[in-house]
Structure 1
Amino acid sequence: MDDVLLSPREQRILAEMEEMLRRGETPDRRPRSPRPRPGGVRGLLLPAGVAVAFTASAVLMGLATTTGRPAFVWAFAGAWTTTLAGLTALVVRWCRRWAASRPDA
């Protein structure tokens, strides 16, 4: 088997995990995901985008109902679809955060 070189930090973490497993202990927390979680400005882009899409949908719905033009109706349909997709992504994100924050998870 090929040798894999680990950084000193990775070697220390691996040694701590091996020692804990030798003692028969289970880890207090799950290993962290290598994927960064959205935070800061990136974490606010989706809610802000959904808010903008919702506002655009409301305006286009008003224009579509008052004028009856097919262009406004189709624009409303597109904006509403985008809003629903963003809301679905937000609900999935919130559910995952809720599941990760539960102590028995």
Structure 2
Amino acid sequence: MDSGRDDARLSERERRILDEIEHALRDDEPLERSLRSMRGHWRVPGVRLPSAVVALLCAATVLLLVLAVATEAPALLWAFAAVWVLTAVSLLRAALGWAGRRLGRHSD
């Protein structure tokens, strides 16, 4: 089994065929337009929460966790679980947005 390293070499004929394919793809204007229009569509659609709201969700999550552990109340535990999910999703969306801006993939 291969250990992640590819030692395969292309023959001269295979390299020439590959060059021809790459050249044809570079010259395909409709394909280029289509690929250009697809950039930035990897983001998850939906409502973005302001940073202050995400910060409040983080604080509420920590507070509910501490209270749930201290009191062992099932209602607080369920409230923590619900707020934690919202917080995790919000933080994930914020991280994806940050990564998209960092990589230069901002919406047009």
Deviation track 1:35-55 (CA, whole Å, cap 9, x = no partner) reads xxxxxxxx8x43212101111
Task: Please give the residue correspondences for 1:1-105 in structure 2 after superposition, counting only pairs within 5 Å.
Answer: 45-100=49-104
1:56 maps to amino acid: A
The residue type equivalent to 1:92 in the other structure is L
- Cα distance in 2 between the residues matched to 1:91 and 1:58: 20
In structure 2, stretches of 5+ residues that fail to align are 1-35, 38-47
Q: Percent identity?
A: 35
| Runs of 4+ deviating beyond 2 Å | none
CA deviations on 1:19-45 (whole Å, 9 max, x unpaired) are xxxxxxxxxxx89xxxxxxxxxxx8x4
In the alignment, the residues of structure 2 paired with residue 81 and residue 100 of structure 1 have an alpha-carbon distance, to the nearest angstrom, of 28
**RMSD in angstroms over aligned alpha carbons?**
2.2
1: CA distance between counterparts of 2:62 and 2:79? 11
C-alpha distance in structure 1 between counterparts of 2:84 and 2:50, whole Å:
15
TM-score (ref. length: structure 2): 0.50
How far 1:100 moved relative to its partner?
A: 0.9
Structure 1 residue runs without a partner (length 5+): 1-29, 32-42
Using CA pairs under 8 Å that are at least 6 residues apart, name the structure with larger relative contact order, 1 or 2: 2
Q: How many aligned positions are there?
A: 61
Measure the CA separation in 2 of the matches of 1:67 and 1:80.
18
